[in-house]
Every structure is written in C-alpha cells, then in structure tokens.
Amino acid sequence: MSDGNGAGALAGKQCVVMGIQNRWSIAYAIAEQMAQAGAKIAVTYVDERAGRDALALAEKYGGKGYTCNVESDEDLDRLAADLARDFGRVDSLVHSIGFAPAAELAGRFIDTSREGFRVAMSVSCYSLVAAARRIAPLMTEGGSIMTLTYLGADRAFPKYNVMGVAKAALESSVRYLAYDLGGQRVRVNAISAGPVKTAAARGIPGFADTYGAMLERAPLKDEFGAAQVASVAVFLASDAASAVTAETIFVDNGYHAMGI
Ligand SMILES: NC(=O)c1ccc[n+]([C@@H]2O[C@H](COP(=O)([O-])OP(=O)(O)OC[C@H]3O[C@@H](n4cnc5c(N)ncnc54)[C@H](O)[C@@H]3O)[C@@H](O)[C@H]2O)c1
C-alpha cells in the first residue's frame, strides 16, 4: 500500500520509463526513485550506446531495458509487445523524451524550417500519443502516464524556439489523453521541470543563464536537480495521486509564479 513517497509507495507496481540517455537524464533519476519506492522497472533508450547506464540501472533493481526510437512505429510496436510478454500489466508510463535539430535552437523562431518543426513535434510531442496508445491497453488495473515539459511552453525563452511550441502541444496532448483514458482509470499528467543539467539541456544555448535566473528569482533558493523532479514522478505514479489527472505540475522552486 502507498505510504506517500517513502519506501513502498510503489510496491507491486510496474513502471516503464522512456528516455534514459545517461545517468544525468531526468528519466534515470525517475527510474531509480521508482525502483527504490518498490516498483519493478522497465527502461527504454534510443540506441544501444545510450543504453549503457540505463541497462546497468535496470539490472541493479531487477528490471529490464529495451531499445526504442520513438520515430519508428516498428520500435514502438515491438516495445509494447515486449512489455506485454515480460511484464503483462503496466501501471505507469513515464515519457521523458525531447529533441529538436540544433539549427532550430541557434537562431530565431521565425526561421524554423518545416522539417525542423516536424521533427521537434514528432519526437517531443507525438511520441507521447503513440506510446500511450500502445501501452495504455496494458494498464488493466488503471494507471498513470506522465511526461516532462518546460515553462517555455507558456513563455518565450530566447533560443528555446520550436521546443517551446512542441511543449505547448505536449501539454495540450496531456489533457486530450486524460479525457480519452479517464474511463479506464488511467491518469495523464505533465511535470514542468525547472532547468536540470542534462545532455538535452546542454544543447540549448543559454541554458546556464536560465539555471542562474531560477536560483536568483525563485521563491525557493535550494539547489535544484533531477532528484526533485523524480520524487514528484513517484507521487504521480502512486495511489496518493489517484484524483490527479490532466494537470501540469510545476517542479521548479516556484520560478514559474514570478513576474520578475
Ligand atoms: N533538463 C531540463 O532542464 C529540462 C527541463 C524541463 C523539461 N525537460 C524535459 O525532460 C525530458 C528529458 O530530458 P533530459 O533533460 O533528461 O535530457 P536527456 O538528454 O537526458 O533526455 C532526453 C532523451 O530523449 C531521447 N530521445 C531523443 N530523440 C529520441 C528518439 N527519436 N527516440 C527515443 N528517444 C529519443 C534521448 O535519447 C534522451 O534519452 C525532455 O522532454 C526535456 O525536454 C528537461
């Protein structure tokens, strides 16, 4: 049974965490905290190279790892089939995947190419829909789906560009998925994380400035990282969040609420 976020909050649950690149990934911290809360974990990574840290983590906690490029319907179909074979039931799905071509994050949003827009939307937004459609049928006892978003969906951050537009579409997708899946007691939420030093974040020019701005202006001055995001993911996957769906939860020391 659930006892908040302590040991055992996810006892008996089976959680799939998509998007580990390395040990700095937000998905890595989420998968680790979910395992420590008692869940059996499955992790996914884009290719074998990215899978090194992910597989070591999964093995440490008796879980499993799978390659899945979300641009490939075949990969997504295979992942769902592998999960059905190896786990049977899934209780939680974490989507922690985002990408836009570097050229789209270098200049002005107005110069976004058609192909750059397509890729950013496909990898960062449509992949949630595609994964949910395949994996929600395995949530036979209800479930919790969550994705990672950023304040750049609501506000214009220079150079975040098309990723901000993709995150806005992602947050909207969360609400539509929550409506579609509510009838089978599957909740769908987004965590809007403050800046965390990861591979994806390093690809965004000026990221260090956003981290400094958060520490300077946010109500909470504490150091902030993937661990703070992961504990909220554990909460969303737990029975403690049984009435929380279609929501975007900010986990950013309160930075989003500030005017200056
Ligand atoms: N780091 C931050 O400051 C921050 C803040 C808010 C939201 N986020 C979001 O958190 C999520 C995870 O990012 P992160 O910061 O942990 O960085 P990360 O680089 O560790 O994770 C991004 C993941 O996306 C995966 N990915 C990219 N293209 C893919 C594809 N075609 N198929 C499958 N996987 C693919 C990468 O392999 C990687 O595992 C992203 O959605 C990101 O936008 C990050």
Check pLDDT > 80 for residue 29: yes
Instruction: Give the C-alpha separation, 207 to 151, whole Å.
Output: 13
* Ligand 1 lined by 152 (C-beta under 6 Å): no
Q: What percent of the chain has pLDDT over 70?
A: 97
Check pLDDT > 60 for residue 228: yes
Please give the distance, rounded to the nearest whole angstrom, from the Cα atom of residue 195 to the centre of ligand 1: 12
Given the CA of residue 151, which atom of ligand 1 is nearest to it?
Answer: 6
For 33-71, how does the pLDDT look when each residue is reduced to its tens digit (9 = 90+)? Answer: 999 999 999 999 999 998 999 999 999 999 999 999 999
pLDDT at 202: 83
The pLDDT of 158-181, averaged and rounded, is 98
Name the pairing type of β-strands 92-95 and 64-67.
Answer: unpaired
pLDDT at 2: 40
pTM over 0.95: yes
Q: Which domains does the chain have, with CATH numbers?
A: 14-253 (3.40.50.720)
pLDDT band, very low/low/confident/very high, at 115 (cuts 50, 70, 90)? very high
Beta strands in 51-185 (DSSP E): 64-67, 92-95, 143-149
The pLDDT of 108-123, averaged and rounded, is 98
**CB within 8 Å of 28: residues ≥ 6 apart:** 20, 22, 53, 54, 57, 226
150 in catalytic set: yes
* Ligand 1 lined by 98 (C-beta under 6 Å): yes
pLDDT band, very low/low/confident/very high, at 243 (cuts 50, 70, 90)? very high
pLDDT at 3: 44
Please give the distance, rounded to the nearest whole angstrom, from the Cα atom of residue 205 to the centre of ligand 1: 15
pLDDT band, very low/low/confident/very high, at 100 (cuts 50, 70, 90)? very high
Check pLDDT > 60 for residue 143: yes
Which residue from 16, 17, 25 has its CB within 8 A of the most atoms of ligand 1, so it is best to mutate? 25
Given the CA of residue 211, which atom of ligand 1 is nearest to it?
Answer: 3
Q: Residue with structure tokens 């659930």?
A: 2
160 in catalytic set: yes
pLDDT band, very low/low/confident/very high, at 201 (cuts 50, 70, 90)? confident
pLDDT at 5: 63
Please give the distance, rounded to the nearest whole angstrom, from the Cα atom of residue 99 to the centre of ligand 1: 7
Which residue from 20, 23, 45, 46 has its CB within 8 A of the most atoms of ligand 1, so it is best to mutate? 46
Check pLDDT > 50 for residue 12: yes
pLDDT at 207: 81
